[in-house]
Structure 1
Amino acid sequence: MSEEGVMEIRLISKQEAFALPDIVQTIPKSIDKNSLNEIVKQLLKESHLDSVEDLEFDFIIVGELLRSTVGEHLSEKSISTESTVDIEYVERTPAPEPEDSILHDDWVSSIHTCAGKWILTGCYDHSVYLWTSHGKSIVSIKNHSDFVKDVKWISKDDPQKGFVSVSEDQTAVLWSWEEGTTKAKSVFVLKGHSRGIECVDVSPNTEKLATGGWDTTLKIWSASLEKDEEEPALKKSKSKDNVNVRTPINTLEGHKQAITSVQWMDPHNIITGSMDHTVRVWDAELNGMKNEIIGHKAFLSSSWSPLANSLLTSSADQYIRLYDPRSTEGAICRSSFISHTRWVSSVEWSPYSEYLFLSGGYDSKVMMWDTRSPKAPLFNLQDHMGKVFKVDWSNRNYLLSGGDDNHVHIFKNRN
Structure 2
Amino acid sequence: MASQASEAQLQVKFVTKQEQYAVSDAPYAIQSNVQSAELNTFVNAIIKETHSIDKTVAFDFLICGELLCTTLAEHLEEKGISTEETLEIEYLERFPAPKPQDCLMHDDWVSAVHTHGNWILSGCYDNSIHIWNTKGQHKLAIPGHTSPVKGVSWVSLTGDQAVFVSGSHDQSAMLWVWNVSGNSVDCIVTCRGHEKGIECIAVSADGNRFATGSWDTNVCLYSTSLTVEDSVPAKKKSKPEQGHSRQPLTTLKGHREAVSGVKWMDFNTVVSSGWDHLLKIWDCELGGIKQEIAGNKAFFDVDWSPLSNTLVTASADRHIRIYDPRSTESLVKSTYTSHSGWVQAVRWSTTKDTLFLSAGYDGQVKLWETRSPKTPLYDLSGHEDKVLCCDWSNPALLISGGCDNTLRIFKAKHKE
C-alpha RMSD of the superposition: 1.8
Kindly indicate whether the alpha-carbon contact (under 8 Å) linking 2:157 and 2:163 is maintained by their aligned counterparts in 1. Answer: no
Letter in 2 for 1:189: T
Letter in 2 for 1:398: L
- 2:156 is paired with a residue of what secondary structure? coil
- 2:161 is paired with a residue of what secondary structure? helix
Partner in structure 2 of residue 3 of structure 1 = 6
Within the candidate set 26, 45, 48, 2:48 is matched to 45
CA distance in 2, matches of 1:284, 1:157: 27
CA distance in 2, matches of 1:144, 1:49: 61
Aligned length: 407
Partner in structure 1 of residue 65 of structure 2 = 63
- Compute the displacement of 1:385 (Å): 1.1
Say if 1:276 and 1:131 are closer, same or farther in 2 by CA, change over 3 A. same
CA distance in 2, matches of 1:215, 1:156: 31
- CA offsets, 1:138-186, max 9 Å, x none? 1111101111111000137878340000001110000011222322111
Unmatched runs of 5 consecutive residues or more in structure 2: none
- 2:379 is paired with a residue of what secondary structure? strand
Partner in structure 2 of residue 204 of structure 1 = 205
- Compute the displacement of 1:225 (Å): 2.4
Q: Residue 30 in 1 paired to residue 33 in 2?
A: yes
Kindly indicate whether the alpha-carbon contact (under 8 Å) linking 1:269 and 1:282 is maintained by their aligned counterparts in 2. Answer: yes
Kindly indicate whether the alpha-carbon contact (under 8 Å) linking 2:160 and 2:181 is maintained by their aligned counterparts in 1. Answer: no
- Compute the displacement of 1:50 (Å): 2.2
Say if 1:398 and 1:157 are closer, same or farther in 2 by CA, change over 3 A. farther
- Compute the displacement of 1:295 (Å): 1.1
- 1:73 is paired with a residue of what secondary structure? helix
Say if 1:147 and 1:23 are closer, same or farther in 2 by CA, change over 3 A. same
Say if 1:228 and 1:85 are closer, same or farther in 2 by CA, change over 3 A. farther
- CA offsets, 1:166-214, max 9 Å, x none? 0011100000112223221111100111111111101111111111101
Partner in structure 2 of residue 341 of structure 1 = 340
Kindly indicate whether the alpha-carbon contact (under 8 Å) linking 1:113 and 1:156 is maintained by their aligned counterparts in 2. Answer: no
CA distance in 2, matches of 1:157, 1:71: 55
TM-score by length of 2: 0.94
Partner in structure 1 of residue 23 of structure 2 = 20
Say if 1:156 and 1:46 are closer, same or farther in 2 by CA, change over 3 A. farther
**Runs of 4+ that moved beyond 6 A:** 156-159, 235-239
Partner in structure 2 of residue 72 of structure 1 = 74
Kindly indicate whether the alpha-carbon contact (under 8 Å) linking 2:401 and 2:408 is maintained by their aligned counterparts in 1. Answer: yes
- CA offsets, 1:259-302, max 9 Å, x none? 00000011111000000110110011221101111111110011
Kindly indicate whether the alpha-carbon contact (under 8 Å) linking 2:190 and 2:241 is maintained by their aligned counterparts in 1. Answer: no
- Compute the displacement of 1:393 (Å): 0.6
TM-score by length of 1: 0.94
Partner in structure 2 of residue 165 of structure 1 = 166
Unmatched runs of 5 consecutive residues or more in structure 1: 230-234
Letter in 2 for 1:57: F
Say if 1:237 and 1:191 are closer, same or farther in 2 by CA, change over 3 A. farther
Partner in structure 1 of residue 358 of structure 2 = 359
- 1:110 is paired with a residue of what secondary structure? strand
Partner in structure 1 of residue 97 of structure 2 = 95
Partner in structure 2 of residue 232 of structure 1 = none
Partner in structure 1 of residue 86 of structure 2 = 84
- Compute the displacement of 1:343 (Å): 0.5
| 1:139-288 alignment, distance < 5 Å | 139-155=140-156, 160-227=161-228, 240-241=240-241, 243-288=243-288
Letter in 2 for 1:384: H
Kindly indicate whether the alpha-carbon contact (under 8 Å) linking 1:291 and 1:326 is maintained by their aligned counterparts in 2. Answer: no
CA distance in 1, matches of 2:408, 2:335: 26
- CA offsets, 1:392-415, max 9 Å, x none? 111100001101110000000013
- Compute the displacement of 1:3 (Å): 2.5
Partner in structure 2 of residue 319 of structure 1 = 319
Letter in 2 for 1:163: F
- 2:182 is paired with a residue of what secondary structure? coil
